[in-house]
Homo-oligomer: A and B are copies of this chain.
Amino acid sequence: MSATPVTAVNTSMALSELVALLTRIFIRHGTSPDVAAVLADNCARAERDGAHSHGVFRIPGYVSTLNSGWVNGMAVPQVEDVASGFVRVDADNGFAQPALAAARPLLVQKARSAGIAVLAIRNSHHFAALWPDVEPFAEEGLVALSVVNSMTCVVPHGADRPLFGTNPIAFAAPRADGPPIVFDLATSAIAHGDVQIAARKGERVPPGTGVDSLGQPTQDPRAILEGGALLPFGGHKGSALSMMVELLAAALTGGNFSFEFDWSNHPGAKTPWTGQLLIVIDPSKNAGQGFAERSQELVRQMHAAGLRRLPGDRRHRARARSEEEGIIIDGEELERLRALAQA
């Protein structure tokens, strides 16, 4: 027997078990059962896919936000059918994912009928990865693009001070012989969640990632988080894309820009109160061969050019492993989650 302290062992959980645990946590901290079901499913799938920065790592942030009264856990999204290709949703100061879930059937119906449709979500909080919002459309044979703005933490290229959010862009497209082609990229040089994880682990971030509170380049994640800021990826081009995300996710939806909300009266609030845009296209309206066959051909040629890994491949491999071995949750993490379900 060892004399070292007993530490909790890692636990393997089925997706349904993890969803059930997370659902209890959300309900316990003030969400409706409907909202809890959507958020728990979203978060558990990220954990299953090895997307740890958006998995159970996010739960304390959700709880802290809910406890602060910043977000409406009981939100009932109001879906409006605006035009033959346009749906808008007032998320009721709740999370974006339940708003998407509420509007999704109408959005899909419009995309299949009109060939393209747009969903404008406003008055919403997005605290998750963006790929779970687009991937299911591709699993139904549709092409989907989504953008969401977040909170001021990125200095526009050529500016002195932060203004944009990390403002991710996610895209999904079906292919014939495999899971959809999916990517989800922050228009910042690094995702905010990855800076938080680096800070927690005491690791440095790559050069060109961010600046400290004096605007000087730094690789210290804490200096970025405490008064510093991120830089856009790819210089002026990433910065232009980040600006586009502000215009589409906020100006076009009626949501807040990343710099417009004030949560100072809600200590513990972590979630940006902004908007989200989704565009869904039905590729069966196109000419020529089936889209999924064509996208498969592109994948084939990418591999022939020497590419070993496609965007999304690592996630799909982690998913396959989780489906075989269960989702592995660190013992201490699991204890913390169980405590939150009862707290």
Report which A residues bind B (CB closer than 8 A): 82-86, 88, 90, 113-118, 120, 122, 143, 155-156, 158-163, 169, 171, 173, 181, 183, 185, 233-238, 240-241, 243-244, 246-248, 250-254, 257, 259, 279, 281-283, 285-289, 291, 294-295, 297-298, 301-302, 305-309, 311
| Contacting residues, chain B, for A298 (C-beta < 8 A) | 243, 246-247, 250-251, 257
A113–B158 Cα distance when bound, in Å, is 39
Tell me the nearest residue of chain B to A294, going by C-beta. Answer: B251
Tell me the nearest residue of chain B to A289, going by C-beta. Answer: B254
Cross-chain contact B305 with A161 (CB below 8 angstroms): yes
Q: Which of B88, B116, B120, B311 contacts A240 (CB 8 A)?
A: B311
For this chain, the copies found in one complex come to 2
A287–B90 Cα distance when bound, in Å, is 9
In addition to A86-B115, A243-B298, A257-B294, 15 A-B residue pairs with Cβ atoms within 8 Å of each other are: A82-B115, A83-B115, A85-B116, A88-B286, A158-B307, A160-B305, A163-B305, A185-B240, A234-B234, A247-B298, A252-B291, A253-B286, A253-B287, A254-B287, A254-B288
Cross-chain contact A237 with B234 (CB below 8 angstroms): yes
A248–B144 Cα distance when bound, in Å, is 11
| Contacting residues, chain B, for A254 (C-beta < 8 A) | 286-289
Tell me the nearest residue of chain B to A234, going by C-beta. Answer: B234
Cross-chain contact B113 with A161 (CB below 8 angstroms): no
A229–B213 Cα distance when bound, in Å, is 39
Tell me the nearest residue of chain B to A293, going by C-beta. Answer: B251
Cross-chain contact B122 with A288 (CB below 8 angstroms): yes
| Contacting residues, chain B, for A120 (C-beta < 8 A) | 285-287
Given known A-B contacts A155-B305, A234-B234, A298-B243, A287 and B251 have beta carbons under 8 A apart = no
Given known A-B contacts A238-B237, A311-B236, A118 and B281 have beta carbons under 8 A apart = yes
| Contacting residues, chain B, for A163 (C-beta < 8 A) | 301-302, 305
| Contacting residues, chain B, for A297 (C-beta < 8 A) | 257
Q: Which of B236, B241, B279, B288 contacts A116 (CB 8 A)?
A: B279
Cross-chain contact B158 with A308 (CB below 8 angstroms): yes
A298–B149 Cα distance when bound, in Å, is 13
Cross-chain contact B143 with A247 (CB below 8 angstroms): yes
Nearest Cβ distance between residue A237 and chain B, in whole angstroms? 5
| Contacting residues, chain B, for A307 (C-beta < 8 A) | 156, 158-159
| Contacting residues, chain B, for A116 (C-beta < 8 A) | 85-86, 114, 116-118, 279
Tell me the nearest residue of chain B to A82, going by C-beta. Answer: B285
| Contacting residues, chain B, for A183 (C-beta < 8 A) | 240, 243-244
A162–B233 Cα distance when bound, in Å, is 22
Nearest Cβ distance between residue A319 and chain B, in whole angstroms? 19
A181–B246 Cα distance when bound, in Å, is 12
Which one of A116, A162, A173 has the highest number of Cβ atoms from chain B below 10 Å of its Cβ? A116
Tell me the nearest residue of chain B to A232, going by C-beta. Answer: B234
Given known A-B contacts A163-B305, A301-B257, A252 and B311 have beta carbons under 8 A apart = no
A238–B237 Cα distance when bound, in Å, is 9
Considering the complex of A and B, which 3 residue pairs feature the smallest CB-CB distances, nearest first?
A234-B234, A86-B115, A160-B306
Tell me the nearest residue of chain B to A251, going by C-beta. Answer: B294
Tell me the nearest residue of chain B to A236, going by C-beta. Answer: B311
